[in-house]
Amino acid sequence: MFLLRKLKDESGSAVLEFVALALPLFVPVIIFLSSFATASNDEFIVRTLARETVRAYILSKNDLTATVNARNTMQTGARELGLDPKRIDDLHFAIDCAGIFCISPDNKVEVTITLKSKDGKRVSSATARETVSPWV
């Protein structure tokens, strides 16, 4: 009789229902939000690095020093933005310009930076364009 009365008693059943039903539904949401935050951070990093790298490139004296300055700016910026040192090696950049010599008056320079995600399944990419000063 006592056992039957205890089984019919519904006190505490709301907590049990929450744990049994609602909690498993929150797990995928938390996983999605975590993945989205990581992807957003990677996108922010590559956009910022592309912008700063192209600025360092066009402010250089010649093409040789421009490439060195761009690479140094990209790596230093990645460290400052908190990118893991292992992932800094995954950063790649490509430079494109209209003329034979990129550092020439009024030339348009484009820098594209790519970064693989930690799991290697996604690639974040950003491109920034600047024009070299006409008084170079």
Q: Which comes out higher in pLDDT, residue 7 or 78?
A: 78
Please report which confidence band the pLDDT of residue 13 belongs to, taking 50, 70 and 90 as the band edges: confident
Query: CB burial class (10 A; 0-12, 13-18, 19+) of residue 25?
Result: exposed
Using the predicted structure, report yes or no on whether residue 97 has a pLDDT greater than 80. yes
Question: Looking at the predicted structure, is the pLDDT value of residue 8 above 80?
Answer: no
pLDDT over threshold 90, residue 80: yes
The CA distance from 27 to 93, in Å, is 37
Q: What distance in Å separates the CA atoms of residue 124 and residue 44, rounded to the nearest whole number?
A: 9
15 pLDDT more than 90? no
The pLDDT of residue 10: 64
Residues 86-102 have a mean pLDDT of 93
- Own/partner long-range contacts of 29-35 (Cβ < 8 Å, ≥24 apart): none
pLDDT averaged over every residue in the chain: 90
> pLDDT tens digits for 29-74?
899 999 999 999 999 999 999 999 999 999 999 999 999 999 999 9
CA 47, distance to chain mean position in Å, is 8
Given a cut of 60, whether residue 132 has pLDDT beyond it is yes
Main-chain dihedrals φ then ψ at residue 49, nearest 5 degrees: -65, -40
d(CA 106, CA 104): 6
Query: CA-CA distance, 103 to 66, in Å (whole number)?
Result: 8
| Residues ≥6 apart with Cβ < 8 Å to 49 | 74, 77, 78, 81, 91, 113, 126
Residue 3 has pLDDT above 80, yes or no: no
